[in-house]
Amino acid sequence: MLLSRVRTTNYRSINDSGEFEIDPGKTLLVGVNEAGKTALLRALQQINAPEDTEKFSPLRDYPRARYVTDIQRGALSPSQVAVTVATFTLTEPERQLILEVAPEATDVSEYRVYRYLDNHRSWDFGSAKLWSKFGEIQADLKRFRAYLAKQEDSDAVVAELDALTKSWTSGTVIRGEEAKKLSAWLDSAFPLIEEGNSTEEERYARLEAAVGYADRIIEAGSVVHDRVPLFVYYSTYFTVHPRINLASLAARQASDDIDPGYDFGNLCLLKLLGLTAEELSDLAKGEPDPSHHGGRETAGYQAAHKQYEEKLDQRQHILNSASVDLTRSIREVWGDENVQLRLAADGQYLKVVVVDDLGVEVELDQRSEGFRWLVSFFVVFKAQASGDLKNAILLLDEPGMSLHALKQQEFRKTATRLAEDNQVIYTTHSPFMVGTDELNLVRIVEMTDRTTGTKVHTRLSVDDPRSIYPLQAALGYELAQSLFGQPRNLVCEGVTDMMYIEALNAALTADGAGLKSTIAIVPANSASKVLYYVTLLRSQKLKVAALLDSDQAGDKAAKQDELVQLLTTKQILRTKDYSSGTVAKAEIEDLLRDTLVQVAKGELGWDVTAIASSQPGRPIVDIFTKEITGFSKYKLVRAFVRWISSHAIFDLTSDEQAGVDKLFKAINNALR
């Protein structure tokens, strides 16, 4: 199963986050300090946290300003407060498991888990049916009663049914005691059916199935419950220390005096080695004493010493294997093929040392904070992600904040690799942890005031402009890097235009077509700014083309004398020339008009099918804006990016394919 949606309420700074989507691979929670990003991860972890994780505490975790009035005075019970609700999309194998238990449950496609403030958990199957209601079986039950009333010796059975259902309404739920009583009554009524009466036998089977549906759903839920992934939380506090006193750590473990904050990283390192602190400590003090064996030359001493050496060799092999594995992981992200990590046992100490390109060994704490963080992360992750946690959901709190900007960009790629096997959710306020090709994965976390609390947005239109600063900085950095970095550049009006072009290019490339690899897509933020970007790029002797919508702003930009002087006619591309419809003021969305209508309906619940069909000459964005409350071009393009990533270019309509193909050929031709 895959986590698809999350909502958190009544937790620390969060009154109600609102429900927000989680990507199947990687999801980024972006916001300023104190916005509530850590609180979101901590609350989410409780859906299915590792056993040793601290549980909810009403006094500590319920919003402090409302604790006395809501909890202390008894207005609300912690058992009533659903702090986190997580919705999982079920895979086809999981749906088949459910159908094996409850064949009628064909409408089940998701599993929803609720974690309450008192730490109990409940579940449902989303909007799918969970039980039968009396109104659904009332007609069959009346006919069955009428049939039974005509049979001999049926008075008691009929009277029992009347007494049982006397107070029931059409909305009465058939589950629990009601289901048990009605099931027992059906058992007593079955012998009264004449043998061979297929009509009443079939009616009886329908009633029995409806009465037992709730029990089968509960059994199906227990099957799915076992497949809920663990949520593994990681923060900068989980540090691996360069010198671990094995005897001391073993003693603290034996007396149950472990400090989770200090010892967690060290315990993960030992878990990675497959040895306990006590085992490593015993090896250090396990050398045999010759006096206990009658001297060094005796067979007893020789055998004991050989056994001791074998244990030391085994320890060395384990440490060496772990060192090689960690070194490989660090090199991939750190970008230094000469760096080497070594785990070494020295008496009662386990040391983590780094070997530099000169062969000098230094303990881990003598390297940079960023390098120490990276080592700690991989130790904890590799230890946690083994065994039962292999398919866990990883919650990374501000990863890589002590890394250099370029190292953060490399770690972003590492997070993408981790997301191939584990869903990854990480928080950040660093622009270098957000790629411009990942804007559809971003969820904005903001808290404009304590009364409102933490909110999560899937759009860039937020109340506090600071919340999207990391995205603006990421785009600015990307632009600065790419602005003069490619010999061929396509300037478009805005970010959404860029996202459409990049998504279509990815689909075309998979089909063997697409843009030339050296073409950079440059968003200008508005049609009026296209000229400035074109001027800057042309001043560097770079090839440039501009893609402009055919609306009023695009027409005005296309007619600017300066732009006409800088670019040839074939280098000024207009969206209306590639749209197959009759929209006079076509925008880039009109190039994909039919598909966007279907994507908006299926992915976002925005149904403008009838209006779009009856008004083919009206721009599709104008229709969405007028008909859909809260319409966002960014949300629409994100939905399209998700859709096209799981489809092929030939899933567009034939007219759309022709228009896209014509546009991309024109871009390549303009930038030859």
Per-residue model confidence as pLDDT tens digits over 159-204: 999 999 999 999 999 999 999 999 999 999 999 999 999 999 999 9
pLDDT at 391: 76
Q: Which long-range contacts (CB under 8 A, 24 or more apart) does 649-657 make?
A: 649/504, 649/507, 649/508, 649/510, 649/511, 649/513, 650/511, 651/595, 652/592, 652/595, 653/594, 653/595, 655/580, 655/581, 655/594, 656/580, 656/591, 656/592, 656/593, 656/594, 656/595
Strands 572-574 and 424-428: unpaired
Above 70 in pLDDT, residue 588? yes
pLDDT at 395: 92
pLDDT at 461: 58
CB-CB neighbours of 221 under 10 Å:
19
Q: Cα separation of 87 and 83, whole Å?
A: 14
The 10s digit of each residue's pLDDT in 620-666 is: 999 999 999 989 999 999 999 999 999 999 999 999 999 999 999 99
CB-CB neighbours of 200 under 10 Å:
19
CB-CB neighbours of 153 under 10 Å:
8
Above 70 in pLDDT, residue 484? no
- The pTM (predicted TM-score) of the whole model is 0.65
Strands 26-30 and 110-116: unpaired
Mean pLDDT of 480-495: 79
pLDDT at 505: 92
Nearest to 557 by CA among 488, 493, 633: 493
Nearest to 420 by CA among 438, 384, 394: 394
Q: Cα separation of 359 and 346, whole Å?
A: 19
| The residue to which tokens 């043998």 are assigned | 195
**Token pair for residue 388?**
């039962």
Within the chain, what is the greatest distance between any pair of CA atoms?
103
Q: Is residue 337 helix, strand or coil? A: coil
pLDDT at 134: 94
Phi, psi of 191 (to 5 degrees): -60, -15
DSSP states of 119-168: S-EEEE-TTS--SEEHHHHHHHHHHHHHHHHTSTT-HHHHHHHHHHHTT-
pLDDT at 661: 93
Burial 18-55 (b: 16+ CB within 10 A, else e): eebbbbebbbbbbbbeebbbbbbbbbbbbbbbeeeeee
Angle at 167 between CA 166 and CA 169, to 5 degrees: 110
Question: CB of 594 within 8 A of CB of 569?
Answer: no
Predicted confidence band of residue 478 (pLDDT cuts 50, 70, 90): low
Q: Cα separation of 47 and 570, whole Å?
A: 56
Strand ordering across the sheet containing 519-523: 519-523, 488-492, 543-548, 572-574
